[in-house]
Amino acid sequence: MTDIARPLAHFVAFTAILRRASFAVAPEQTMAWLAAIDLLGPEDMGDIRRAARATLAPPPDRFAEFEALFDAHFLGAVDAARESVPSDEAPLRAAEDSGFGPEPDVDEEARESGAKATRAERLSTRRFAPAAEDATLRRFTRALPASAPRRRGYRWREAHNGHGTDVRRMLRDAMRNVGEFVRLRHRRRRLRPRRIVLLIDISGSMKELTQTHLAFAHALARAADAVEVFTFGTRLTRITRALRLRDRARALSAASLIVADWDGGTRIGEALAAFLAIPRFAALARGAALVVLSDGLERGDPAAMTEAIARISRIAWRTVWLTPLATGSGFRPRTAGLSAARPYLDELGDGRTLDSICTCVLHLAKARAA
Amino acid sequence: MRRTIVGISSPRELEEALRAAYYLADEGLSTAAYLALALGKPLLLEGAPGVGKTEAAKAIAGVLGRTLRRLQCYEGIDSAAALYEWNFPRQILALRQQDNASGHVDIYRDEFLIERPMLACLRRPEETVLLIDEIDRSDHEFEAFLLEFLSDYQISIPERGTIRANAPPVVILTSNRTRELHEALRRRCVYHWIEYPAPEREMRIIMMRASGVGERAARAVVAAVGRLRREPLAKHPGIAEAVEWAQAATLLNQQGARWPEAFRRSLGVVLKDEDDLVHVGPRIDAILAEAQI
């Protein structure tokens, strides 16, 4: 690095700190910031701070964290920058199905004390009993293509009828026919399937339903075009690929090998945060219909869960939570976590039986009533 | 990079210019706006509804002495609304009128093109400010299209070829954050999150915008509105509502209503949702009593 670049290094180092704290900072943003400091003059720390906020664009809900990192780096407020949030438990991990083999990563867990036994990961492999809900799933699979949520595409396509007249195409035709309009052309916007993202809680408290949920996920993945399925308990696992197998028994056993936290503890907030923290996963939720199958019994701080749901609801087209604890149509959640999250959900529905889940998913495309 | 834009060479000077255009910007906003202008990047303003995002864009256009071209986004917005459209009746007429003697008529000339805000901004970048309002309402395809537009400042019309801006235009985007914008779009812009103004500043805004309002009424309105914004309401009162409330209450007061009564009777100017009125109703006297200094 040359001498000229040395004063800049201190600024560039800050962006590296931001990235480590999982802020998204692009190189062009760093360059914009340096240009901004050059414009405003590097004398006033207030200017540098405001320029950082304007060009590095931290999301509003993380302003405080951003400011703390800024103070730590430039003002030395805390002697070491908070590179990681202090935590007494193993960070939640996200896994993805690379193939169909089991993931050999059972060793480095279990730093928890015995007092928190339910939170510790009880890693196990699970076998599935043959499902009894065949008929329901068959009906669901048949009904889904007609009622799956769709969105309007951006581009227009030629159509044989419809209300949109494609004057542009007609004019082009007319040019070829010495200015005569020979036939009426129509156009319409193509409908595209909306992605459905399914998040399945597989913690111990959901034990009885897990298998039904996975069978449902398999049916959904087979019937709809764009489906993503994740499981979460003490970690977040993407099982979409395993579920692509046609045969349900094989698909579920492939999924069961990937998922390592069957019937373990519950860290819903962290699992959802992990889902959002991986841009590739979060992008799957963008504009999608997102369905969570969980009882919402959060062991940890419900605030984390509420915040994650609030963020998800801003990304997804529709956020639906189906809980087996629902007691009827006028159900109001009793747990702190779910009642705090309620305002962000488009629907808090009945997830007690396979029938009710199927009905809810079939109605996703219906009016977006709040 | 240009240090000086229409004689403005620092955030503070921009702040003063905006004040002259009747917009009271805080330091953060004036810095972000100045940087956007100087670096030639789009300015992305986010904030709750009613904090003055659109007003900021109007004021900036005023300071620059340019016309504001506003593109209001909505679900399903397409290029015909954002970019350009062909004037079909005129094209058809031209085709009909052409006779064999005069020969070829070009129906893709400028006169048949109806320009929409984005095209207008590309063709006259030095004269326009493009405001893309409430981008969070559009679909993400439009966002992706916008990304392309904002990176190259060019569009292509199949019948005409590519149209490119000969200077980077001034583009301001606003979002109510009802959904999160794509990371790539945020990255391309200079960003500012507009908060509700601090009480002192909101008071000055009210007195500047509504000339007949006294200092006492303005102070009371700011305190009461600040209190209402902490309530769990469906729609929190914005700055415009605060200004209108101060004006309405002052008017009623001039006609003989006493102060708390004047505020209570004009409550419909601030809260425009039945549920909100029901929610606040029983406690409005307490809130007003607290606000009267």
Distance from CA of A315 to the nearest CA of B (A): 5
> Are B25 and B150 in the same domain?
yes
Asked if residue B275 belongs to a domain, the reply is yes
> Are B139 and B250 in the same domain?
no
Note the pLDDT tens digit of each residue in B68-104. 999 999 888 888 889 999 998 888 888 777 766 566 7
Given a cut of 60, whether residue B122 has pLDDT beyond it is yes
Total residues belonging to chain B? 293
Mean pLDDT on B262-272: 89
Token pair in block for residue A116: 């928190």
Given a cut of 50, whether residue B125 has pLDDT beyond it is yes
Average pLDDT in chain B: 89
The per-residue pLDDT for B289 is: 85
Contact flag A286-B140 (C-beta cutoff 8 Å): yes
The per-residue pLDDT for A77 is: 62
Would you say A320 and A198 are in contact if contact means Cβ atoms under 8 Å apart? no
Distance from CA of B250 to the nearest CA of A (A): 36
Of the candidates A57, A154, A314, the beta carbon closest to that of B139 is on: A154
Mean pLDDT on A87-97: 55
End position of a domain, from candidates B194, B223, B254: B194
**Chain A CB contacts of B39 below 8 Å:** 32, 35-36, 39
Contact flag A39-B32 (C-beta cutoff 8 Å): no
CATH of the domain at B35: 3.40.50.300
List the single residue in B with minimal CA-CA distance to A310.
B179
Contact flag B35-A151 (C-beta cutoff 8 Å): no
The per-residue pLDDT for A82 is: 42
Given a cut of 60, whether residue B169 has pLDDT beyond it is yes
Average pLDDT in chain A: 79
Token pair in block for residue B241: 């509502």
**Chain A CB contacts of B38 below 8 Å:** 36, 39
Given pLDDT bands bounded at 50, 70 and 90, which one contains residue A327?
confident
Of the candidates B31, B92, B192, the beta carbon closest to that of A47 is on: B31
- Longest CA–CA span in chain B (Å) reads 84
Percent over 70 (pLDDT), chain A: 81
Given pLDDT bands bounded at 50, 70 and 90, which one contains residue B250?
very high
Distance from CA of A27 to the nearest CA of B (A): 9
Q: What's the rounded Cα separation, in Å, for the pair B133 and B53?
A: 9
Taking the CA atoms of chain A, what radius of gyration do you get in angstroms? 25
Q: What's the rounded Cα separation, in Å, for the pair A199 and A221?
A: 13
Q: Strand, helix or coil at B47?
A: strand
Q: What's the rounded Cα separation, in Å, for the pair B122 and B163?
A: 7
Of the candidates B35, B107, B182, the beta carbon closest to that of A55 is on: B35
Q: What's the rounded Cα separation, in Å, for the pair A156 and A306?
A: 39
Mean pLDDT on A199-226: 89
> Are B67 and B144 in the same domain?
yes
Closest CA to B240 of B26, B27, B55: B55
Asked if residue B65 belongs to a domain, the reply is yes
Of the candidates A50, A57, A311, the beta carbon closest to that of B28 is on: A50
Given pLDDT bands bounded at 50, 70 and 90, which one contains residue A109?
very low
Backbone angles phi, psi at B204, to 5 degrees: -65, -35
> Are B216 and B157 in the same domain?
no
Of the candidates A29, A63, A168, the beta carbon closest to that of B187 is on: A29
Mean pLDDT on B191-212: 91
Given pLDDT bands bounded at 50, 70 and 90, which one contains residue A100?
very low
> Are B49 and B22 in the same domain?
yes
Interface test with B, best of A15, A18, A39, A346 (most B CBs within 10 A): A39
Q: What's the rounded Cα separation, in Å, for the pair B174 and B154?
A: 21
Chain A residues whose C-beta is within 8 A of a chain B C-beta are: 24, 26, 28-29, 32, 35-36, 39-40, 46-47, 50-51, 53-55, 57, 59-60, 63, 151-154, 156, 167-168, 171, 174-175, 179, 181, 189, 279, 286-287, 311, 314-315
Q: Strand, helix or coil at B105?
A: coil
Q: What's the rounded Cα separation, in Å, for the pair A184 and A163?
A: 11
The per-residue pLDDT for B140 is: 80
Given pLDDT bands bounded at 50, 70 and 90, which one contains residue B193?
very high
The per-residue pLDDT for A94 is: 66
**Token pair 């350009």 is at which residue?**
B84
Contact flag B35-A51 (C-beta cutoff 8 Å): yes
The per-residue pLDDT for A286 is: 87
Given pLDDT bands bounded at 50, 70 and 90, which one contains residue A175?
confident
CA distances from A66 to A63, A86, A315, B8 (A): 5, 16, 22, 30
Domain around B16: 11-79+115-194
Asked if residue B39 belongs to a domain, the reply is yes
Token pair in block for residue B257: 């209503």
Q: What's the rounded Cα separation, in Å, for the pair B240 and A342?
A: 30
Token pair in block for residue A82: 């908070």
Distance from CA of B41 to the nearest CA of A (A): 9
Q: Tell me the sheet residues that pair with B129.
A: B68, B170
Q: What's the rounded Cα separation, in Å, for the pair A277 and A44?
A: 33
User: How many interchain CB pairs under 8 A, A with B?
Assistant: 102
Token pair in block for residue A275: 């889902």
Distance from CA of A168 to the nearest CA of B (A): 8
Given a cut of 60, whether residue A143 has pLDDT beyond it is yes
The per-residue pLDDT for A88 is: 43
End position of a domain, from candidates B179, B194, B209: B194
> Are B27 and B154 in the same domain?
yes
> Are B59 and B176 in the same domain?
yes
List the single range of A53-62, B90-99, B265-274 with lowest mean pLDDT: B90-99
Q: What's the rounded Cα separation, in Å, for the pair A141 and A133?
A: 12
Given a cut of 80, whether residue A321 has pLDDT beyond it is yes
**Token pair 């939570």 is at which residue?**
A321
Given pLDDT bands bounded at 50, 70 and 90, which one contains residue A330?
low
Give the total number of structural domains in chain B: 2
Q: What's the rounded Cα separation, in Å, for the pair A277 and A282?
A: 7
Given a cut of 90, whether residue B49 has pLDDT beyond it is no
Contact flag B107-A175 (C-beta cutoff 8 Å): yes
Mean pLDDT on B168-181: 90
Mean pLDDT on B11-20: 94
List the single residue in A with minimal CA-CA distance to B95.
A179
> Are B263 and B165 in the same domain?
no
Q: What's the rounded Cα separation, in Å, for the pair A343 and B206?
A: 32
Given a cut of 80, whether residue A80 has pLDDT beyond it is no
What secondary structure, in 3-state letters, does B184-226 show?
A: HHHHHCEEEEECCCCHHHHHHHHHHHCCCCCHHHHHHHHHHHH
Given pLDDT bands bounded at 50, 70 and 90, which one contains residue B64?
very high
Given pLDDT bands bounded at 50, 70 and 90, which one contains residue B280?
confident
Of the candidates B86, B145, B193, the beta carbon closest to that of A60 is on: B193
Would you say B64 and B5 are in contact if contact means Cβ atoms under 8 Å apart? yes
Q: What's the rounded Cα separation, in Å, for the pair B35 and B10?
A: 9
> Are B145 and B233 in the same domain?
no
Asked if residue B58 belongs to a domain, the reply is yes
- Longest CA–CA span in chain A (Å) reads 87
> Are B286 and B206 in the same domain?
yes
List the single residue in B with minimal CA-CA distance to A152.
B76
**Chain B CB contacts of A57 below 8 Å:** 44, 186-187, 189-191
Q: Residue A358 contacts by C-beta under 8 Å, 6 or more apart in sequence?
A: A136, A137, A139, A140, A216
**Token pair 């026919």 is at which residue?**
A177
CA dihedral defined by B266, B269, B272, B277, rounded to 10 degrees?
A: -30
Asked if residue B100 belongs to a domain, the reply is no
> Are B149 and B222 in the same domain?
no
User: Which stretch of DSSP H or E encloses residue A186?
Assistant: strand A186-193
Distance from CA of A283 to the nearest CA of B (A): 9
Q: Residue A369 contacts by C-beta under 8 Å, 6 or more apart in sequence?
A: A346
Pairing of strands A196-201, A227-232: parallel
Contact flag B142-A174 (C-beta cutoff 8 Å): no
Asked if residue B98 belongs to a domain, the reply is no
**Chain B CB contacts of A287 below 8 Å:** 139-140
Given a cut of 60, whether residue A84 has pLDDT beyond it is no
The per-residue pLDDT for A132 is: 58
Domain formed by A94-146+194-362, architecture: 3-Layer(aba) Sandwich (3.40)
The per-residue pLDDT for A110 is: 35
**Chain A CB contacts of B107 below 8 Å:** 171, 175
List the single residue in B with minimal CA-CA distance to A57.
B191
The per-residue pLDDT for B35 is: 95
